[in-house]
Amino acid sequence: MHENILSSLTAFLFAYSNDLHTKIMIKFFINIFFHNTHVNYLPIMYVLFNLDGKTLFSFFCIHLPFLIFIDMKNSITLLLFLFAFSLLTAASGDEFPVATDNFSQNTPMVVFDGEDYFTVYIDRRGEQYSFYSRFISPDGDVGPEQLTVPEHPVMSFMPGLAMGDDNFLFTWSRQRGVWDWDRDGMARILNLDGSPASGTIQVSGPETQDSPAFMRVAYGGDHYLVIWQDGLPNQGARIMGQFVCATDYNLAGSNFIIRPDELDAGVSQIYPDILFDGNHYLVVWDDDRSGERSIYGMFLDTDGHPAGDDFVISDNPDRQMLVRTAYNGQHYMAAWADRRHGSKSSVYGQIFDHEGNHLGEEISISILQNNQERSWPRIGTNGNQFLVAWEQQLLTKEKSEPTAWQTARDLAAGMDYRQSVVWYEVHGRVINSNGTYYTDEMPIGVAAYHQQNPEIAGHDDQFLVLWQDSRVNNQYSDVYGRFVDAEPPTELPEPQNLSGTFTGEMIELEWEAPASAKDIDFLFYHVYKDNTLLADEVTDTFFEDDDFEQDTSYTYHVTAAYNQGESDPSNEVTVEIPVLYVNVQFYVHETEELGEDPVEGALVWLEQDEAYTNEHGIALFEAVAAHQELAWQVSHEHYFTEEGELDIAAEDKEIVVVLTLDDTSVHDLAESGEVSISPNPATDILIVESKLPIHSLSLYDMMGSKIKESVAEGKSEKLHLSGLPQGAYLLHITLSNGQVIIKKVLKRAI
């Protein structure tokens, strides 16, 4: 009787079974329920582990009395455990269809826009290539489809997607013609509602030598940076980049190479990925500089220039490839396919910091078992944890021939593109921010036939995984999704009540410490100026900034750094810097003692202004703009010239200049009546008269540069000053006997 009831129950459960959820506790269940009992629970256990969470919970509610009747002691224990397990599987979420329209939908990309998930995928309706998009709520509600890129008759694939402040950028590689296998890198800006904002933009230019592959994109503020692989493995493939303006949708500059300078031309950079962390771009790839493919990374500034040397992420002697990366706000994690365990791949990962330093050992995410390869890993973050998903072979299913897009993809990635395709499932694992495991390996998409090309986006307490799925007789593919539970980011309190004041000498910032929180350790503060890091590791709740310009404004915010990451910004404060004016007064004397031996009539030049000393040796400059450095010069026809630089602060300035008498180079014979100049000051024409014939006239500015020169013969000469700016000049008068007389000339405006 028991056996008949169990057989009927097993058949009933098969009718309601869905995809495999977990195998974590099978051994535990077997140890509890399969010993010392006369009822064989194995058929029931097999089916129960193939149920989704809702069906499992329904089974618990409906069949509790039924199973108690069969075997009360073991059944109650079993069902109580299944009750807890059903809650766990329900929280993990059931898979759901995203795009199941006619013909094929595949290769989904996904991002979280702050409220919903946004996905763009390839659509093959009508046997052409087009791209459609949908929004998916955090509850799993799938919105209507939108046409993103109109259909095109040739292959369009290897897409990338990123979100900016006001739009998205979607990029892909498109074949040029039906029989032309060369490709171009394309892009399109999308509005936040998913509608097209721009036409199709070709991002790859003449600088690209070969067909772009693996288009990836990140948003760095104002611009998107699109990157791709240019060329094939073993042919010196390199990474190219192109900025696209997020506001006018134009290309910013031209294609440029992203490659370490020391990398030999024959070394191929393969399968790049990119992200932006708020300050720098991170680009990762694999190359074979060591003789075997290894994983490397390099940070770029917002202009696309290297922000330091490239660094090793993994250089195990065996092959590492197909790397993807994510940033959780504190640390970076890369995940890649790794062949250290045989000729087929496992999946490994590494967490590292802003300088490329490894944090802990490499993480063995999924190790090769039963000769079933794990490959093409993807990675996402919810701002705390990382989810790595990959394609996992299932050798019990029959093989098929690769499609055209699979062949092109594998060829570009340096994979064996000639082998028959075995069936794949999508599996995954959640990794904590410190590199420990949050979950065991878990199946995500495991229906019939192929589940491939997973992509991940995370938010708060969940990840969304999308993949292409050929469960319907493997004739066409659809897009399916599943939510995976996550530990939400720890709330990190931000600094409070930031204020800023300009004192005339500096900008003073003050703030209050953040509210205390449990289980987090405060480290220090970061101060940002106009959204650029100004100072890090500040331990006080105040900061002084003395780097500013007048007649401008600066905006500041402060964050708190914890051992778990960086907080959100404090309130912003904007500080206006006015134009400040001060008085600058020169005292010109022959001695150091003020009031003694003043020099009257000395010309004091202060950048664009000038003044003569009075009978007290004083020259006053009023309303001089503060907070600048100005050059000055003091000259007199009987003294050596003195000069220097003056740092003008936010207060009146006095400077004492001591002149030294010059009796060696200046022979002014005007006192004996031998040479005279008039009028002085002059506006247009200066008349020079001498008792001796004049040989030449040379006019210099106060910096010693010759302005003009004329040859003379008589005892009276005219010198034209028209066209010269007003100011002081030195006139060198050379007489027929070789004597040089230097006269100071003032040019006045007409």
**530, 499 contact by CB (below 8 A):** no
**350, 376 contact by CB (below 8 A):** no
Q: What are the pLDDT digits (tens) for 40-67?
A: 444 444 344 444 443 444 444 445 454 4
pLDDT at position 637 is: 79
CA gap 455, 109 in Å, rounded: 6
In terms of pLDDT, which residue wins out, 281 or 177? 281
Cβ-based neighbours of 619, under 8 Å, separated by 6 or more: 585, 586, 588, 602, 604, 611, 612, 613
Q: Are residues 470 and 511 in the same domain?
A: no
Is the pLDDT assigned to residue 29 strictly greater than 50?
A: no
Q: Which residue spans within 246-371 are E strands per DSSP?
A: 251-258, 269-276, 281-287, 294-300, 311-314, 320-327, 332-338, 346-352, 363-366
| Proportion of the chain above pLDDT 70, given as a percent | 83
Q: Are residues 571 and 592 in the same domain?
A: no
Interhelix angle for 26-33 vs 72-92, to 10°? 170
Q: Are residues 652 and 743 in the same domain?
A: no
CA gap 617, 588 in Å, rounded: 5
In terms of pLDDT, which residue wins out, 616 or 461? 461
Most confident of 413-427, 492-506, 588-602: 492-506
Most confident of 68-77, 126-135, 666-675, 728-737: 126-135
Q: Are residues 47 and 32 in the same domain?
A: yes
Q: What are the pLDDT digits (tens) for 242-257?
A: 999 999 999 999 999 9
Is the pLDDT assigned to residue 135 strictly greater than 80?
A: yes
**Is residue 739 in some structural domain?**
yes
Is the pLDDT assigned to residue 33 strictly greater than 60?
A: no
Supply the CATH number for residue 680's domain: 2.60.40.3080
**Is residue 664 in some structural domain?**
no
CA atoms within 13 A on the CB side of 113: 24
3-state secondary structure of 47: helix
CA gap 287, 268 in Å, rounded: 5
CA gap 631, 610 in Å, rounded: 12
pLDDT at position 102 is: 86
Structure tokens at 251: 């290309």
**Is residue 281 in some structural domain?**
yes
Is the pLDDT assigned to residue 35 strictly greater than 70?
A: no
pLDDT at position 250 is: 95
Q: Is the dihedral of CA 123, 125, 128, 130 positive or negative?
A: negative
Q: Which residue has the tokens 């600058």?
A: 584
Pair type for strands 653-658 and 581-589: parallel
Q: Which domain holds residue 696?
A: 670-747
At residue 6, φ and ψ (nearest 5 deg) are -65, -40
Q: Mean pLDDT over all residues of the chain?
A: 84
**389, 374 contact by CB (below 8 A):** no
Number of domains, the chain:
5
Pair type for strands 156-163 and 167-175: antiparallel
Q: Are residues 253 and 325 in the same domain?
A: yes
**Is residue 626 in some structural domain?**
yes
Nearest to 360 by CA among 399, 314, 401, 325: 314
At residue 714, φ and ψ (nearest 5 deg) are -95, -170
Whether the model clears a pTM of 0.85, i.e. scores above it, the answer is no
CA atoms within 13 A on the CB side of 661: 6
**Is residue 512 in some structural domain?**
yes
**Is residue 490 in some structural domain?**
no
Q: Are residues 448 and 512 in the same domain?
A: no
pLDDT at position 442 is: 96
CA gap 278, 211 in Å, rounded: 31
**186, 171 contact by CB (below 8 A):** yes
Q: Are residues 235 and 295 in the same domain?
A: yes
CA gap 743, 731 in Å, rounded: 5
SS (H, E, C) 368-425: CECCECEEEEEEEECCCCEEEEEEEEECCCCCECCCHHHHHHHHHCCCCCCCCECEEE
Q: Are residues 287 and 275 in the same domain?
A: yes
Q: Are residues 418 and 567 in the same domain?
A: no
Supply the CATH number for residue 413's domain: 2.120.10.30
CA gap 107, 85 in Å, rounded: 32
Q: Are residues 295 and 343 in the same domain?
A: yes
pLDDT at position 398 is: 54
pLDDT class for 107, splitting at 50, 70, 90? Answer: very high
Pair type for strands 522-529 and 532-538: antiparallel
In terms of pLDDT, which residue wins out, 636 or 91? 636
Nearest to 745 by CA among 731, 735, 725: 731
CA gap 234, 293 in Å, rounded: 11
Q: Are residues 252 and 238 in the same domain?
A: yes
CA gap 188, 249 in Å, rounded: 8
CA atoms within 13 A on the CB side of 35: 6
| 525-557: burial string, b at 16+ Cβ within 10 Å, e else | bbbbbeeeebbeebeebebebeebeeeeebebb
**62, 25 contact by CB (below 8 A):** no
CA gap 40, 51 in Å, rounded: 19
At residue 77, φ and ψ (nearest 5 deg) are -60, -45
**239, 258 contact by CB (below 8 A):** yes
pLDDT at position 27 is: 36
pLDDT class for 538, splitting at 50, 70, 90? Answer: very high
Is the pLDDT assigned to residue 673 strictly greater than 50?
A: no
Q: Are residues 414 and 441 in the same domain?
A: yes
3-state secondary structure of 457: strand
CA atoms within 13 A on the CB side of 364: 7
pLDDT at position 51 is: 43
pLDDT at position 723 is: 84
How much is the average pLDDT of 736-744?
83
* CB-count burial class (<10 Å; 0-12, 13-18, 19+) for 72: exposed
CA gap 690, 719 in Å, rounded: 14
Supply the CATH number for residue 617's domain: 2.60.40.10
How much is the average pLDDT of 334-346?
95
**111, 470 contact by CB (below 8 A):** no
Q: What are the pLDDT digits (tens) for 417-447?
A: 555 556 889 999 999 999 999 999 999 999 8
Q: Is the dihedral of CA 469, 472, 475, 476 positive or negative?
A: negative
Is the pLDDT assigned to residue 519 strictly greater than 80?
A: no
pLDDT at position 419 is: 55
Nearest to 149 by CA among 211, 198, 204, 183: 198
pLDDT at position 76 is: 54
| Proportion of the chain above pLDDT 90, given as a percent | 51
pLDDT at position 599 is: 87
CA gap 335, 385 in Å, rounded: 13
How remote is the C-alpha of 505 from its chain's centroid? 34
Nearest to 201 by CA among 211, 210, 189: 189
pLDDT at position 714 is: 86
3-state secondary structure of 80: helix
How remote is the C-alpha of 728 from its chain's centroid? 54
Query: Which of 284-298, 361-375, 656-670 is the least confident region?
Result: 656-670
Domain boundary among 465, 485, 505: 485
Q: Which residue has the tokens 């003449």?
A: 206
How much is the average pLDDT of 531-536?
92
How much is the average pLDDT of 365-391?
95
**28, 49 contact by CB (below 8 A):** no
CA gap 159, 170 in Å, rounded: 7
Domain boundary among 658, 682, 707: 658
pLDDT class for 71, splitting at 50, 70, 90? Answer: low
Rounded alpha-carbon distances, angstroms, from residue 295 to 258, 289, 348, 350, 380: 15, 10, 11, 10, 18
Is the pLDDT assigned to residue 31 strictly greater than 90?
A: no
Interhelix angle for 72-92 vs 53-70, to 10°? 180
Identify the H or E element spanning 61. Answer: helix 53-70
**Is residue 99 in some structural domain?**
no
Q: What are the pLDDT digits (tens) for 685-731?
A: 888 998 889 989 999 887 778 888 888 888 888 888 888 888 888 88
**Is residue 491 in some structural domain?**
no
pLDDT at position 309 is: 96
pLDDT at position 269 is: 96
Is the pLDDT assigned to residue 474 strictly greater than 90?
A: no
| 592-601: burial string, b at 16+ Cβ within 10 Å, e else | eeeeeebbee
Q: Strand pairing partners for 72? A: none
Domain boundary among 534, 557, 577: 577
To 5 degrees, how large is the angle CA 368–CA 370–CA 373?
Answer: 45
